[in-house]
Structure 1
Amino acid sequence: MQHLPQTPFDENCTIAGLLTARAEALGSLPFVAFEGQEWTYSQTLEHSRTFARALSVVGGQIADRVAMMVENRLEFFAAWFGTALAAGVHVPLNPEYRGEILRQVLVDIAARYVVVESHLLPNLLSAMDGTDHKIELLVIMDHDPSQALPNSESWRALSWEIFLEGGIGVQMPEYQRSAYELGAVMLTSGTTGVSKGVMVCDKHAITQGREAAEAYGIQSDDVMFTCLPLFHANAAWSTVLAALQSGAKVALSRRFSARRFWKDAAELGATQVALLGTMLHMLVAQPPSDADRAHRVRIGNSVPCPPDVMIAFERRFGVHLLETYGNTETKRILSNRHYHRKLASAGYPTPTSIVEIHDENGWRVSPGVIGEMVYRPKEPGIITLGYLNKPEATLAMVRNGWWCTGDLAWQDTDGFVYFAGRKKDALRRRGENVSAFEVERALMSHPGVLLAAVVAALSELSEDEILAAVVRAPGSTATEEEVFKHADENLPHFMVPRYIAFVDSLPETTTGKIAKAGLSEQLMQGEVWDSERVGLAATRTRRNT
């Protein structure tokens, strides 16, 4: 095994600085591979510099927000790192966003520039229509040159190729930004309200990458395989930035396929893989095949990692699994290490993290006692700079100087932490945080729906399924299928309820709020409409082929 010493963090260690240093040191070594294409460290830097120069040509300034509606592909790296080199603010958006959710996000982020794939353009243009956004330029990937580009009096559009041509042969401007200034806004689905923009600096992201590299034992000859989306911190920070700091290689696929996973991992030469709890279940459920061990993978990281599934997974595939815990606001704060782990635990605090379990009054509880998990950083720059345009939401997460995760857990005498449930009105489905509020709002935009309450239903996988309890509007004859299709038209696929139950009324608290406690268990004991049982599936936004 080869080991490349990690660059010590200092005031100037930005993402742009880290990429530049690694490209200078590693040059022609491969950095990222995707669908038969590969960029070296030097090529990645040059593509990113071209993007940065092109951004300056169209008027880009320091701290401008550059939004991206882009699926996993090599060009994602050029736009992400190019924005960093231009000292802009990286704002990756979930390509599944559409409708009212996307409209609200566009207003909130106030991005001047948006990079978008052509097959996602209709959703974006629809959301922009009549919205008070700040967009001045759309950069469209995969644009058909035989088709006219969209245009408006207030914004213009360029194809990806024409945009980049503007940056060729242009002198790179000198940009300066510290590692503690705003570097990215990461959209995370709210737990009790609308999606929030988590503001983070470069140190925040780089620290997660460095600590992931240490926990997983990443070395310079490792190949880090991920099929998780790059618009999420998991793939971007724990895979890409971890590899960048270690001099390793990233192997990227467009999305997860249980049938092809091990074949892809073998073909890409993967030695480490990034997983989610649902993916573990799906892989174990696949029929045994010769591909199960015909690979070089030795380490897998997963959130969560149920013990029974972990044991079955490791015995069958020969991969050592490490469970971790974190969120965008705090970075990764718990992790099992490749040299030290405990089954059923999310790990123990990372080197820069202080994690405690508190009771409802904010007192630390004894080992073994369940309470709320709270976090405090040991250094500046490794906690969110706050929620974009939502200072009150930021303050609501802090109590007595601790960031309150809203998750219940307990800690053993060795410091290992064990997840015990959620305090939040949130769901976790297919690796995505889902705001019940946003799903309910979409359902109640149907003319035949008066009220809706969205709760988690037990899943055969390790995460949640979505159950919607719906009260029809007076005189409405809306069916479950109609409500499902309405949700499918207005929500990302992972937010569309699997189960729908019509009820005459919803239980209320003494303050007039919907009482959700026990609602899921009560409804699931009866006959509940199941979209999977009737053969309906939520629509994914896919590229044209």
Structure 2
Amino acid sequence: MVISFENRTVHGVIEQLAADRGDKPFLSFEDQTFSYSELNDEAGKVAAGLQGLGIVKNDKVAIMMSNRPEFLFSWFGTSKVGAVEVPVNTAHKGALLSYMINMSDSVVLILEADFVDQIREILPDLRKLKHIILLGDDELSDDRMVSFGDFMDNDRDYRPCHILPSDPCAMMFTSGTTGPSKGAVVPHNYQLVMAEIICGMAEYSEEDCLYNALPLFHGNAQTLSTMPALISGARMVLAKRFSASQFWDDIRRHNCTEFNYIGGILAILLKAEPKDDDADNPLRVMVGAGANKEIFTAFEDRFNVQLVEGYGMSEIGTPLNTSPGDRRPGSCGTLNPGYQIMLIDDQGQEVGPHTPGELLIRPLVPHSMMLEYYNMPEKTVEAWQDLWFHTGDYLQHDEEGYYYFVDRKKDALRRRGENISSFEVEQGVNSHAAVLESAAVAVKSDLGEDEVMICVALKPGQKLAAKDLITHCEKLMAYFMVPRYVRFMDQLPKTPTERVQKYRLRDEGVTPDTFDRERKLS
């Protein structure tokens, strides 16, 4: 698909496709099918509804929904009026949820009824919200509430405004390390550049069908799955959620040729009992990251599919990638021509081959990386020191220009596809009356990525069972943030300046006295 410059916006793509492809089917969800025109029409109703509420360009619209067509309508409709989409992880609750909605300056929340209880809990704190659009049968006693049905009861008559590819279109929350989660604001052209890179990596065409089972509140499902499906003219099958037991049945039933994987998905699928027809499936390619050589080879051999991998993050896009014709197991690929990169040591000096260094990056394509961390100018400047974006990740490369991920410099964790702020885990743990201080660190998981371990020092004279601390965390945190491992210590190891030496805790890992909630050890 050739996208004209004026259409290099999220909604511009939808409008061009509706004009070019009309009634051709694009989206399948359960027993529903939507054409390009129907997708554009429903997005137009959202746009008209938002303008009816007084929403103007650059206003923030939070969306808290599970995977369903209405999420897409809301996302694209928000784009049509120049507002900024703020996708909210549906597992969040309590102080972190109110922080994200308030910090983003969201004035509208489009809310699925399944998550009403989480919002009801924090309603008094959501002082900036002017409107709550509720989808579903539940009720919310608040004079700001309007039903999604009433909101969509219009003739799609909205007033187009002038929106540039450089204008902000979304705010993606990225894990905090030494502070709260940051809202990375990305422009419209960022989403299109990312989609074009993925289309090139996977060699998509109109003959493909993409299976999208990752949560739409994540950038992966939006930018690396939905947008590539659109601009390549492929079909997209949207699933409620990823299910290992349902995965291959869905793939075969819908004749899907592509799927994006994250986290431990490959390991989970490999753990299933082998079947004689494992290789008899329509998948041509799977796009993702982080597969070690053993899993990479075992998966391809068993399921007869090609894995293509890359390196990226919410702020920067995908500067490194492989393709079906140029892959090396364990490598995240070679440099995409749209970027400049450099690996440096702790003194800022560039390192040579086979030497780990922090990845620094610059874009060569305008408006293809984040604009800022919202309302955090000092964090934006810090990330862009010396006019290079500092990723906080260690990589190394070989003489032929293939790059390999080594480790995270930051204290962020990643568990089963979810980014986790160690700071926010520690805040939740430290709110227990018996806890003096804590440190959250990553422990390698047998499914790939990390498990969360919390090391805890109690207040003098206090006692606390690990199971009771887990129960406390479950009340405050999203399920994926709740630590698997709990280790009680007399005191945390510290530097002379009283900073916790997390590297020592990581090196020691799971000790004999560590509680493992998955094995119910005490």
User: Cα deviation per residue 1:280-335 (whole Å; 9 max; x = unaligned)?
Assistant: 00100100125523421010012211110010000100010011110010011111
The one-letter code matched in structure 2 to 1:55 is L
Aligned partner letter, 2:464: A
Kept after mapping to 2: 8 A contact 1:427/1:436: yes
Change (3 A) 1:531 1:329: same
Identify the residue that residue 342 of structure 2 maps to in structure 1.
Answer: 356
Choose which of 121, 128, 145 in structure 1 pairs with 2:123: 128
Q: State how far apart, in whole Å, the 2-side matches of 1:149 and 1:430 are.
A: 32
CA contact (8 A) 2:322 2:332 kept: yes
Measured in 1, the distance between the counterparts of 2:63 and 2:289 equals: 25
Cα gap change, 1:8/1:54 in structure 2, threshold over 3 Å: closer, same or farther? Answer: closer
Are residues 291 and 260 of structure 1, via their aligned partners in 2, closer, same or farther at CA, if it must alter by over 3 Å?
farther
- The Cα shift of 1:12 comes to 4.2
CA distance in 2 between counterparts of 1:27 and 1:269 reads: 22
2:145 matches 1:157: yes
Show the 5 A alignment for 1:11-90: 11-90=6-85
8 Å contact kept, 1:190–1:433? no
* Aligned equivalents of 2:156, 2:260: Cα separation in 1: 38
Alignment-derived partner of residue 468 in structure 2: 482
Q: CA deviation at 1:474?
A: 2.6
How many angstroms apart in 2 are the aligned matches of 1:329 and 1:517? Answer: 26
Q: CA deviation at 1:160?
A: 1.1
2:264 alignment partner, SS class: helix
Q: Distance in 2 between matches of 1:257 and 1:14?
A: 32
Q: Distance in 1 between matches of 2:284 and 2:359?
A: 31
Moved more, 116-125 or 518-527: 518-527
Give the distance between the partners of 1:290 and 1:493, measured in 2 at CA.
35
Structure 2 match to 1:109: 104
SS at match of 1:282: helix
Look up the match of 2:432. Answer: 446
Unaligned runs of 5+ in 2: none
Cα distance in 2 for residues equivalent to 1:250 and 1:227: 10
TM-score normalised over the length of structure 2: 0.97
Whole-angstrom distance in 1 between the partners of 2:448 and 2:435: 30
8 Å CA contact 2:263–2:415 kept in 1: the answer is no
Q: Which amino acid aligns with 1:414?
A: E
Give the partner amino acid of 2:14: L
* 2:308 alignment partner AA: L
**How far apart are residue 8 of structure 1 and its match?**
3.9
* Number of the residue aligned with 1:540: none
Aligned twin of 2:268: 282
In structure 1, the partner of 2:419 is 433
Q: 2:343 & 2:387 partners in 1: Cα distance?
A: 14
Moved more, 471-480 or 500-509: 471-480
Alignment partner, residue 320 of structure 1: 306
Q: Which amino acid is the alignment partner of residue 170 of structure 2? A: A
Q: How does 1:119-518 map to 2 (within 5 A)?
A: 119-129=114-124, 131=125, 133-144=127-138, 148-152=139-143, 156-165=144-153, 168-169=154-155, 171-290=157-276, 292-518=278-504
Aligned counterparts of 2:275 and 2:521: Cα–Cα separation in 1: 28
Which AA in structure 2 matches 1:140? L
Aligned residues: 522
- C-alpha deviations, 1:206-250, integer Å up to 9, x for none? 100011001110001200112111111111011111111111111
In structure 1, the gaps of 5 or more residues are: 1-5, 537-545
Structure 1 residues 249 and 351: alpha-carbon distance in aligned structure 2, compared to 1, 3 A threshold? farther
Alpha carbons of structure 1 residues 286 and 170: separation in structure 2 relative to 1, 3 Å? closer
Q: Secondary structure at the match of 2:471?
A: helix
Percent of aligned pairs sharing the same letter: 33
Residue identity in the other structure for 1:59? G
Q: Matched residues in 2 for 1:364 and 1:218: separation?
A: 36
Contact 2:44 2:156 in 1 (8 A): no
Distance 2:36 2:422 in 1: 42
The alpha-carbon deviation at position 473 of structure 1 amounts to: 2.1
CA distance in 1, matches of 2:18, 2:400: 40
Deviations 1:20-60 (A, max 9, x none): 00111111112111112111111100110111111111222
Tell me, in whole angstroms, the C-alpha distance in 1 between the residues paired with 2:473 and 2:301: 40
Aligned-residue offset at 1:518: 2.1
Cα deviation code 1:391-422 (max 9, x no counterpart) = 11111112321111111111122221101111
Q: Counterparts of 2:2 and 2:188 in 1: how far apart (Å)? A: 14
Aligned AA (1:135): L
Query: Which secondary structure does the structure 1 equivalent of 2:23 belong to?
Result: coil
CA positional deviation for 1:461: 1.7
Distance in 2 of aligned mates of 1:60 and 1:170: 15
Q: CA deviation at 1:362?
A: 2.3
CA distance in 2, matches of 1:60, 1:523: 50
Please say which of residues 256-265 and 517-526 is displaced more in the overlay: 517-526
**CA-to-partner distance for each residue in 1:357-390, whole Å, 9 max, x for gaps?**
1222323222222111111100220111110110
Deviation at 1:530, TM superposition (A): 0.6
Q: Give the counterpart letter for 1:133 in structure 2.
A: R
- 1:460-481 C-alpha deviation (Å, 9 max, x unpaired): 1211001111112233222101
| 1:291 to 1:116, Cα distance in 2 relative to 1, 3 A | farther
C-alpha RMSD of matched pairs (Å):
1.5
Summarize the Cα distance change of 1:259–1:200 in structure 2 as closer, same or farther, 3 Å threshold. Answer: same
Bigger shift: residues 470-479 or 327-336: 470-479
| Deviation by residue 1:69-96 (Cα, 9 ceiling, x = unmatched) | 1111111110000101111111101011
Q: Is the 8 A contact 1:263 1:291 kept in 2?
A: no
* Conserved 8 A contact 1:110-1:133: no
Amino acid at match of 1:137: H
Identify the range of structure 1 (514-523 vs 242-251) with the bigger mean alpha-carbon deviation. 514-523
Matched residues in 1 for 2:36 and 2:46: separation? 16
Shift, 1:535, TM fit: 8.9
**Alignment TM-score, normalising by the size of structure 1:** 0.93
Tell me if the contact between 1:359 and 1:365 (Cα under 8 Å) persists in the aligned partners: yes
8 Å contact kept, 1:149–1:158? no
Aligned residue identity for 2:103: D
